[in-house]
Amino acid sequence: MADLTAIAALALDGAIGWPRGLYRRVGHPVGLFARLIARCEAAWNRPDHGFWTRRALGVLTLMLLLFVTIAAAVALEWVAKTLLGRAAWIGIAVLAWPALAQRSLFDHVRPVATALDAGDLPAAREAVSAIVGRDTARLDEAGVARAAIESLAESLCDGVVAPLFWLLLLGLPGVWAYKAVNTADSLIGHYEPRWRAFGWAAARLDDALNLAPARLSGLLLCLAGGGGWRVLWRDAGNHASPNAGWPEAAMAGALRLRLAGPIAYEGVRHDKPWIGAEGRDAGPHDVARALRLYLRACLLLWLATAAAIWSM
**Dist CA 268 CA 250 (whole Å):** 28
User: What was the pLDDT predicted at 266?
Assistant: 60
**Dist CA 197 CA 283 (whole Å):** 39
The larger pLDDT score, comparing residue 206 to residue 267, is at 206
User: What was the pLDDT predicted at 115?
Assistant: 95
Beta-bridged to residue 269, according to DSSP, are 264
The larger pLDDT score, comparing residue 135 to residue 264, is at 135
**Dist CA 24 CA 21 (whole Å):** 5
- Over residues 132-142, the pLDDT tens digits come to 877 788 888 99
pLDDT at 125 over 60: yes
- Over residues 207-237, the pLDDT tens digits come to 999 999 999 999 999 999 999 999 999 999 9
Percent share of the chain, pLDDT over 70? 96
Q: Rg of the chain's alpha carbons, rounded to an integer? A: 20
User: What was the pLDDT predicted at 267?
Assistant: 57
pLDDT at 264 over 70: no
At residue 255's C-alpha, the angle toward residues 280 and 252, to 5°, is: 75
* pTM for the predicted model, two decimal places: 0.93
Question: Which range (218-232, 264-278, 295-309) has the least confidence?
Answer: 264-278
CB atoms within 10 A of CB 208: 12
- Over residues 27-82, the pLDDT tens digits come to 889 999 999 999 999 999 999 999 999 999 999 999 999 999 999 999 999 999 99
User: What was the pLDDT predicted at 82?
Assistant: 94
The larger pLDDT score, comparing residue 167 to residue 306, is at 167
pLDDT at 1 over 60: no
User: What was the pLDDT predicted at 145?
Assistant: 94
User: What was the pLDDT predicted at 153?
Assistant: 96
Question: Which residues, 6 or more positions from 134, have their beta carbon under 8 angstroms from its beta carbon?
Answer: 147, 263, 264, 265
183: phi then psi, degrees, rounded to nearest 5: -65, -45
User: What was the pLDDT predicted at 270?
Assistant: 64
pLDDT at 240 over 60: yes
**Dist CA 179 CA 166 (whole Å):** 10
Q: In the chain, what is the straight-line distance between the N-terminal and C-terminal CA atoms, in Å?
A: 11
User: What was the pLDDT predicted at 312?
Assistant: 65
Q: What is the mean pLDDT of residues 269-281?
A: 84
